[in-house]
Structures are given as structure tokens and as C-alpha cells.
Amino acid sequence: MVIKDTKYQVVINTVLIILSLMCVMPFILLLSSSITSETALVKTGYRFWPTEIDLSAYKYLLMDSTSIVRGYAISFFVTIVGTLTSLMLTTLYAYPLSRKNLPGRNIFAFYIFFTMLFNGGLVPGYMMWTQMFHIKNTIFALIVPGLLLNAFNVIMMRTYFTTNIPEEVLEAARIDGGGELYILTKVVLPMSKPIIVTLVLLIGLSYWNDWLNGLYYVNRDNLYSIQVLLKKMMDDIEMIKKASAAGASTMKMPSISIRMAVAVMGALPIMCVYPFFQKYFVKGIVIGAVKG
Amino acid sequence: MKMKKLLATGFATAMAVTTLAGCGSAADNNASQSAGTDSAAGSTQVAASNDDVTTITIYAYNNSTTEAAEKVAAAVSEITEPAIGVKVNLLTGVSSEQLNLALASGEDLDLFFAMPWQVSMSTMAATNQIIALDDLLAEYAPDVLSGISEDDWRCSTVSGSIYGVPMNKDKAQGRGFEMVKSIADELGIDYSTPWTYEDLDANLRKVKEAYPDMYPLVPNGGTMIYPAWACDVLSDDLGVLENALSDSTQVVNFYDTDSFKEYCKWVYQWAQEGLMMPDAVNTTEGYQEFFNSGVGFGTFTSFKAGFEAEETRKCGKDIVVVQMENGAPHSTTSMVNASWCIANNSKNPEKAMQMLNLMYTNPEVSNLLVNGIEGDNWVFADESKGVITYPEGVDSSNTSYSSVGWAWPNEQITYVWEGDEPDVWEQLGEFNKNAQSSPAKGFVWDNSGVLNEVTACNNVVEKYRAGLLTGCLDPETAIPQMNQELEAAGINTIIEAKQAQLDAWLAEQN
């Protein structure tokens, strides 16, 4: 029995070690190539240990440090405001759906489910947002379209409520004289920390990583989020390489290492936050399974 | 009673709001956009107050900061306002997504660049996103109309009407081989006359012998510039004229031509012998990086007048180019039909055409749009010759307004950058004039009838092309296999349709 156990441990640990290496190694490669000089990259290829350390990619990115700082600020703002608003809307939709006595429950459920399967398409959406709501080149362009309410999140949250909040608890709260809002905020939400944290992470990530809205709805550089800004910078480099009247030699520009540096800059804040969320994340995402 | 009162208040509020919206937006850039959709009252008010000055929105290809774009727009407006009553609103760095959205959604847009690899002129014309320019050109831009050759106009003509003004850039290309000059000179490689594949083969071997660590032939971003001979690809490379320099107008399968097979055979052999960089399909770097770091010696390329100076700057090493035997400068539709168009969204196409006319003919306007503001983005290096350079502390990596001359209507009336020969525009003009036109130049292929086949064939091409062009696949087996798949995907249907269209077009021309 004991032997079997250690065997099991050995096997499972090897598998896990290999799996986590597969996740970590590309990132190490990314980090190392972002601080390698361009010539060394071309000559020797990507290495796990930089052959010739050169920070010119980061220097180029930070050259215009005000726009980088502004980009981060906009991204943080959008992520925080967007996540809070989205979380509120999601909760307010999901909670009533989880209650069996909601009149027209099926209609509301179908209404949100429908958006998972069908949408109006890009151009009609664009026309609606720019011509009816005039959000082009406003901060709302980065918050509202496509991200504010995700049907999948609503359904995930509803499932959590129905499976993890016993009817009896709600009844007890009602007998104690609690109104609906009281029950939601004082009873249900405190019992739902795992799902809330999961959603915060999911929604926050989608806000942080979003650059499509920036691409479609923003063309003023004081509204570029960090992702849009980084994409613009890479475009700039391509443009400079194409530009016929470049004047001076363009070879000083790092282009491969800068791609790596951009990825690092975009991922860095998320990596700093992730560890704090992890324990909830695992708990919350296992929806539907029986939990202790 | 109460109802009436409520209604009245409601109307009053609505009126107040629309009036305010009208006034407020008259001042800012989005004037007609918000006013036009808010209310009829608002938009008439704007039109009245802006009667003498029209705002023309221009979408541009080059990148810049918003601030620099506004500065350039203001400077251009200073010229155009008194001249034609146009105020310019300039948006730079427009991606193809943004352009397509703006065209489809009816957003404020008057003039824009139509790059054949981003948007299709025939589709835009068919869906009414751009307007026919014949009458406008005749009335407001006679110089432009007469200044561009009949041949070139045909390239931006869709079903009998002109839909775009071709950009006055390189309108022809030669096919050749570019290489690092210092090594070529050192090894006594003669690049004064066109090369055959045999010449190239001998020279690549010379380089390999002298520099065993170097790859004499390198790819560009995982593929090769192709074809290495004068071939008219007729918009896409499914069904081409094998030799644009001959009179033949027979449409053939590009991947079944002798030229293609010969090319692939050579590259494959070079790859086998280590003359060509191995695993080229999986390298993302451009040839510039390979040249600069001393990894590579040469690559296939297309060239134009002033090309060597341009490449020398890009690679940071002296570059020379030699023409390949069958790659004499030639001109085809796709080399010319990058154009400036007037969007159907334009509220005042007459003014838009007047503006386009100035962009094409007025050196000051053109120079502002291409090169930006003097002092900020460029300074004179030699004013008498019209040569400019970057100001102190500014270079291509940090300028606020990047200069991409060829993406504007007429780069040939702007100042020349230091490093180019002062007469580069004359040279380019000569080059364009001397290049031989393909017999199908001006023919615009409309693939709407065979879209399914085109998609299927493109998938097959995607699978094999890069591998064959870089010598990673053995042409002996891969080419027959590829053609078999292409036939199954319906390439013959495409060729037939293309031939029919081409014949009809040719008959029309005579």
C-alpha cells in the first residue's frame, strides 16, 4: 500500500512537473529574449540564458514614458471600473435567475442565453455604439462594448447560486424579516466569495487584455490603454521599416526583442495579481461539481 | 391638462438640447457626425454656420501622434481654407479594420487610401462605398486627369468609371537579387549586368566558400519575395500571365508554369547544399536583420529607382541590386492601383475632389502631409536642392509624424530625404515611364463569381507556397501534389473565368 502510494506520488509529480515546466519555459524564453540584443537573436536564435544582454527594447518602449504611464493608468481605470460595474450587473442578473419563484424566469434565462449563440455582428454593433451612443473616443468605448455583461458569467454565477446557496438559508433570512436586497447583500453574497473572486479575475482579465475596443473605437492617443499602446508601438516599428524616407538607418531599432518586451510589459501586472486570487479561483471555477 | 404641460416641457427640453448639440459640435471635429444624427434642426444649423468652410476628413496610412496629426491638419488648413474653403481633419495610422468600419457605417470620411492588399476597389465600387470620379476629375482636377497616363487610369477603373486616383509612386517593378555590397566587391562578383540562375548559383557558391558560416541566400519573414521573374499575377496569383513582357494573354496556372518550377528547383538545390538558410519557413525575421548581423548575403527582391539607397538605410549596410534575367522592369495593374478614393460618406464630394487635387498638385500641401511640420519632423539639409533631414535629436524611431511618401497621392512633388539622390523623383519617373506594360495592365479581376474556388485554392496555396519558395519542400513531389490539389479545389474554373474576363476586357480596349 505504501509502495503503491509512493509510486503514485512519483508518477503524478513527474507529470505535474513536466506540465508546469511546459507552462513556465516559454515564459522564461520570452523574458530572456526580451533582454537579448537583436543581433545575437538573429545569429544564435532564442536562448534560455541571454547571450548578450541588451535592454534597448525596453529603452525604446520606455522612451516615451508619459504615454506608457498614461496607458497603464487608463488600463487600470478601465479594468477596475469595468470589473466592478460588470460584476454588479452580472450579480443583479444572476441572482434573480437563481430564484425559482421569479416570474418569467425562463424568458429571462433564454434572453441572456440567446446572446451566447447570436450577436448582431461587428458593423451593426459599431454603428449602434458610434451613432446612437456616441462613445467613439470616450473612455466608455473601452468599457462598454462587448465586455460589460457576458452571458457565460451570468450563467456561471446563477449555477453557483442555485447549487451552493440552500433554499433554507434564504427562508431563514426572510423569516428574520430581511428584504430581497438585504438577503442578497448580507446573506447570499458573503456566501459566494469563491464565485465572485473567479468572476473578478475572469472579467478583470478580459478588460486588461482587451485591445479590440481600442482598435475599433479609439483613435486619439490620450485614450490608448496599455494593450492598444503596445500594439501601436509595434505597428510603428513596422511602419518605420516600410517607410521609404526613413532618413537614417533603421537598423538600430530592435524589432524581435521588442515583441518580447511588449508581451512582458502586458503580462506583468496580471502576474503580480494572480497569486492572490489563485486559491479562490480553483474553488470557484469547479462549478456544478459536489464540493465540501 | 397635466399631459399637455408635460409634453410642452418635453419639447422645450428637446429643442434646447438639440440646439445646444448643434452649437457645441459646430466647433469640434465631430461636427456633422453628432449633429447629423441628433436632429434635423441641429444639422441645418451647422450647415448654415459652416457654409463657406467645409471640413474634409482624411484617413491616412502613416502613423503619428494625435497632436502631430492635428498640427499638420491645421497647417494644411491654413493653405486650403483661403484657396478652396476646406478645413482638414486628419486621422493617421488608420488600420484596415477602422477603415472598413468607417466605410460600412457611414461615418464622417471623405478621402482615404485604398491599398489593394487591404481593400478591394471593385468590391467597394460594387457596394457603393466609394463614388465614381470621372465628372469630378474633369471639373475640379483637370491637371490630375491629364497628368496620369491612360494606362494608369485603367488600373483604377471599375466597369467603365474611374474610382480612384493612383498614387504617384513606383508604378513598375523589376525583379532581382539584392546583396551586401562589401562582400560582393571583395569576392569580385559582377553585378553590372542581369544574372541568370546559373550566374546566381556560381556567386552563391563563391560566397559560401569565402564565408562558410554565412548563408548566401536568406528568406524574408518566412518566405521569399516572388516571383523572381516578370510575371503578371492578375490581382491574385491564381491564374497569371507567365511573362508580363511578352504579348501572350493566355491565363495559366502559376504553380504549373516552367518559370515557377525552375525557380523552385534551384532554391531546393541551394537549400540542400546549405547555400540557402535552412528551416526558412519558421524564421520570422526579415532579410534586413540577417544582412545587418552578418548572417546573410543576399535575397530575391523587387526593385525600383532609388532602391539601393533605401535598402542601404534599412539594412545599415551598403546594398546593391542586380536584375534577374527575366525580371526587367514591368508594370501591372496591382503595381498601380493603390489609389486615393472619395468615400460615399462624403457630404461634399466636390470639395473632397478639390482637396485631392491640391494634395496631388500643390507641393506645399503634399509636403506637409507626407513629411510633417518643418522643425518638428524635418529640417532642410540643403534648401537649394530641396533635400531634408531629421532635426537634432529626432530620428525615424521617435519622430511624431512618420513619413511614408508612397502612401500619399503624390510623393514626387515633396522634398527628398538626405541619403536619396536629389533627383530620385526624376529617376523614379523615368523608371516608371521606361518600364514595359503588361498586356493585361489595367485589367481588374472580379472574383465574385468564383469565391468558393478562390478560397479553396488559397488554402492549398497557403499550404505549399512558402515551403516551395524557400526550398523546404522537394519540388519533384510537392509541385505535382500541389497542382493536383489545386485542380481539385477548382483552379481551372478560376482560370477559365479569368480568361473570359480578360478576353472581354481586351476586346473592349481595342
Question: Read out DSSP for B368-423?
Answer: HHHH--BTTTBEEEETTTTEEEPPTT--TTT-SB---GGGSSBGGGSPEEBTB-TT
* B70 in any annotated domain: yes
Cβ A248–B313 below 8 Å, yes or no? Answer: yes
For A210-255, how does the pLDDT look when each residue is reduced to its tens digit (9 = 90+)? 988 998 898 888 899 988 888 888 887 777 666 544 444 455 566 7
Dihedral sign computed on CA atoms, order A78, A83, A84, A88? positive
Cβ A246–B417 below 8 Å, yes or no? Answer: yes
Same domain flag for B64 and B46: no
Picking from B51, B71, B91, the residue at the C-terminal end of a domain is: B51
Looking at residue B34, its pLDDT comes to: 38
Contact A97, A157 (CB under 8 A): no
At residue B341, does pLDDT exceed 60?
yes
List the single best residue of B101, B302, B394, B410 to mutate versus A (max A Cβ within 10 A): B101
Rounded mean pLDDT, B183-207 = 92
Same domain flag for B139 and B104: yes
**To 5 degrees, how large is the angle CA B339–CA B501–CA B240?**
75
Looking at residue B42, its pLDDT comes to: 37
Name the residue among A243, A251, A256 with its Cβ closest to that of B402.
A243
SS3 category, B177:
strand
Look at B226 and B1; give whichever has higher pLDDT.
Answer: B226
At residue B219, does pLDDT exceed 80?
yes
Pairing of strands B54-59, B86-91: parallel
Length of chain B: 510
At residue B470, does pLDDT exceed 80?
yes
Looking at residue B52, its pLDDT comes to: 78
Closest CA to B101 of A32, A167, A98, A216: A216
Picking from B15, B34, B51, the residue at the C-terminal end of a domain is: B51
The enclosing domain of B141 has a CATH number of 3.40.190.10
Cβ A246–B106 below 8 Å, yes or no? Answer: no
Rounded Cα–Cα distance for residues A243 and A234 (Å)? 14
- Lowest average pLDDT, out of A3-12, A13-22, A67-76, B41-50, goes to B41-50
For B15-68, how does the pLDDT look when each residue is reduced to its tens digit (9 = 90+)? 444 434 434 333 333 333 333 333 333 333 333 344 578 999 999 988 888 999
Residue B227: cis peptide before it, omega within 30 degrees of 0: yes
**Chain B: residue whose CA lies nearest to A220:** B66
The domain total for chain B is 2
Closest CA to A270 of A234, A229, A227, A228: A227
Picking from B401, B428, B455, the residue at the C-terminal end of a domain is: B428
Closest CA to B277 of B356, B207, B380: B207
Cβ A122–B101 below 8 Å, yes or no? Answer: yes
Rounded Cα–Cα distance for residues A198 and A113 (Å)? 20
User: What residue numbers bound the domain in which B33 lies?
Assistant: 1-51
Looking at residue B29, its pLDDT comes to: 39
Residue with C-alpha cell 466647433?
Answer: B27
Rounded Cα–Cα distance for residues B118 and B127 (Å)? 16
pTM of the model: 0.79
* B271 in any annotated domain: no
Same domain flag for B70 and B9: no
Looking at residue A68, its pLDDT comes to: 86
Looking at residue A39, its pLDDT comes to: 77
Closest CA to A286 of A177, A196, A160, A108: A160
Looking at residue B35, its pLDDT comes to: 37
Question: For residue B82, how far is the Cα from the chain centroid?
Answer: 32
Name every chain B residue with its beta carbon within 8 A of the beta carbon of A127: 104-106
Q: Where are the alpha helices (DSSP H) in B50-180?
A: 66-84, 96-105, 121-126, 134-140, 142-147, 150-155
Looking at residue B447, its pLDDT comes to: 80
Same domain flag for B146 and B130: yes
Contact B101, A126 (CB under 8 A): yes
- Lowest average pLDDT, out of A86-95, B189-198, B440-449, goes to B440-449
* B325 in any annotated domain: no
From A76's Cα to the closest Cα of chain B, the distance in A is: 22
Domains of chain A: residue spans and CATH: 1-54 (no CATH), 56-285 (1.10.3720.10)
Same domain flag for B41 and B134: no
Same domain flag for B99 and B114: yes
